[in-house]
Amino acid sequence: MSAEHLLIDHVSIEFDTPKGKFKALDRVNLRIAKGEFVSLIGHSGCGKSTVLNIIAGLLQATEGGIVLDGKEVNEPGPERAVVFQNHSLLPWLTAYENVELAVRQVFRGKKSKREMQEWIEHNLRLAHMDHAMHKKPSEISGGMKQRVGIARALAMKPSVLLMDEPFGALDALTRAHLQDSLMEIQNELNNTVVMITHDVDEAVLLSDRIVMMTNGPAATIGEVLTVDLPRPRDRLALADDSRYNHLRAEVLRFLHERRGEKVEPTATMEPDTAAGSNAASVSKPRRNAKEAA
Ligand SMILES: Nc1ncnc2c1ncn2[C@@H]1O[C@H](COP(=O)(O)OP(=O)(O)OP(=O)(O)O)[C@@H](O)[C@H]1O
């Protein structure tokens, strides 16, 4: 991994709410290297999406900022592609056309028609969606829609892939398949990824580092855990790996210690679950200021 690539530089944010100012984040500070896979984990409402949205340029920090490859970024750009929990595909377009739309925006005038077609197909293949590329979102499953969303994000050739609970709405088996696909893609492309997850197993399986956030208001980074498990990683082998289980226990400990603090979340902890299953996760009981606003 090379030197600093993405800097989250002492980011704080305050929202205006009917009850006054609400400080959601307080001096979140993190350096991310090129090709690194970083997960953000923390109890519901602590500010994970806010961090991701600030990196994406969808929200502005009140203090501090985001520096990508030495340049401050304040607005959305194709070098920071986002994959949301709900696919956000245009329903009247096919999978191919959804990816095409993004490719045209980024590569107009830079790639020929033929090159664009090859590039779209290449990315749909990477996400294992080439067999259904001419289907519309209503004709494919939830997991397939997420695959198209991933293909669309990858096709923008982003420096950073931002993923907000990309597999959160999927069943455990589909989720496991997509995690494996993401690891394969990551192995091939070496993308920088910042991913939000509520799933402890998913965080340990996929990440190079897990950033654990304290509860809000004024949430910040509590601890950072380095996941030094060799790659490629195999979920079944990891289930019996003592290092894997130690890391998993560390994340659960962090979350458990913060249980009941301010946002009153609950962490479901079920021992002896296979790696990548959705059993060890932080439930999403309720939102606070955003709902009150
Ligand atoms: N536009 C807004 N106006 C007011 N408060 C907001 C706004 N956006 C977020 N918040 C508040 O900021 C805090 C962080 O919200 P955020 O959505 O980032 O949390 P999260 O960790 O991603 O939550 P979850 O895990 O439930 O998705 C919450 O208290 C939320 O209510």
pLDDT digits (tens, 9 = 90+) for 137-166: 999 999 999 999 999 999 999 999 999 999
CATH architecture of 4-79+159-260: 3-Layer(aba) Sandwich (3.40)
The alpha carbon of 262 and the centre of ligand 1 are apart by a number of angstroms equal to: 14
Residue 225: its H or E element? strand 221-226
Residue 264 CB burial class (10 angstroms; 0-12, 13-18, ≥19):
middle
Angle between the 95-107 and 113-126 helix axes, to the nearest 10 degrees? 130
Going from the Cα of 229 to the center of ligand 1, the distance in angstroms, rounded, reads 32
d(CA 164, CA 146): 12
Out of 33-42, 65-74, 85-94, least confident range: 85-94
pLDDT of residue 87: 72
Counting ligand 1 atoms within 8 A of each CB, the residue from 14, 40, 46 with the most, and so the one to mutate, is 46
Residue 231 phi, psi dihedral angles, 5° rounding: -110, 155
Could you read off the pLDDT of 114-134 as tens digits, one per residue? 999 999 999 999 999 999 999
Closest-CA residue to 199 (of 269, 150, 285): 269
| pLDDT tens readout for residues 87-123 | 789 999 999 999 999 999 999 999 999 999 999 999 9
Query: What mean pLDDT is predicted for residues 164-169?
Result: 90
- Name which residue sits closest to atom 30 of ligand 1, judged by CA: 290
Probe residue for ligand 1, chosen from 40, 197, 283, 290 as the CB with the greatest number of ligand atoms within 8 Å = 290
Q: In DSSP terms, which residues pair with 66 in a beta bridge?
A: 8, 73
Domain map (residue ranges) of the chain? 4-79+159-260, 90-157
What does the pLDDT read at residue 272? 37
In this predicted structure, what is the pLDDT of residue 43? 95
Task: Report the candidate in 154, 168, 173 with the shortest Cα–Cα distance to residue 203.
Answer: 168
CA atoms within 13 A on the CB side of 125: 7
Tell me the per-residue pLDDT of 199-244, one tens digit each, with 9 for 90 and over: 999 999 999 999 999 998 999 999 999 999 999 999 999 999 999 9
Mean pLDDT of 62-72: 97
CA of 50 to the centre of ligand 1 (A): 6
Nearest CA to ligand 1 atom 28: 45
The reply to whether the predicted model has a pTM over 0.80 is yes
Rounded CA-CA distance 16/100 in Å is: 38
**pLDDT at site 280:** 55
pLDDT digits (tens, 9 = 90+) for 252-287: 999 999 887 754 433 333 333 344 444 455 544 333
pLDDT score recorded for residue 288: 39
- Ligand 1: atom nearest CA of 17 is 4
Question: What ipTM goes with this model?
Answer: 0.98
Query: Which protein residues are within 6 Å of ligand 1, measured from CB?
Result: 15, 17, 22, 24, 42, 44-50, 216, 284, 287-290, 293
Contacts of 103-110 with C-beta under 8 Å, sequence gap 24+, read 103/155, 103/156, 105/78, 105/156, 106/78, 106/155, 106/156, 106/157
CA of 144 to the centre of ligand 1 (A): 28
Atom of ligand 1 nearest to the CA of 290: 31
Tracing tokens 């739309």 back to the chain, one arrives at 101
DSSP letter (8 states) at residue 37: E
Percent of the residues in the chain that have a pLDDT greater than 70, as a whole number: 88
Distance from Cα 210 to the centre of ligand 1, integer Å: 20
The residue to which tokens 């289907």 are assigned: 135
Cβ atoms of 208 and 183 closer than 8 Å: no
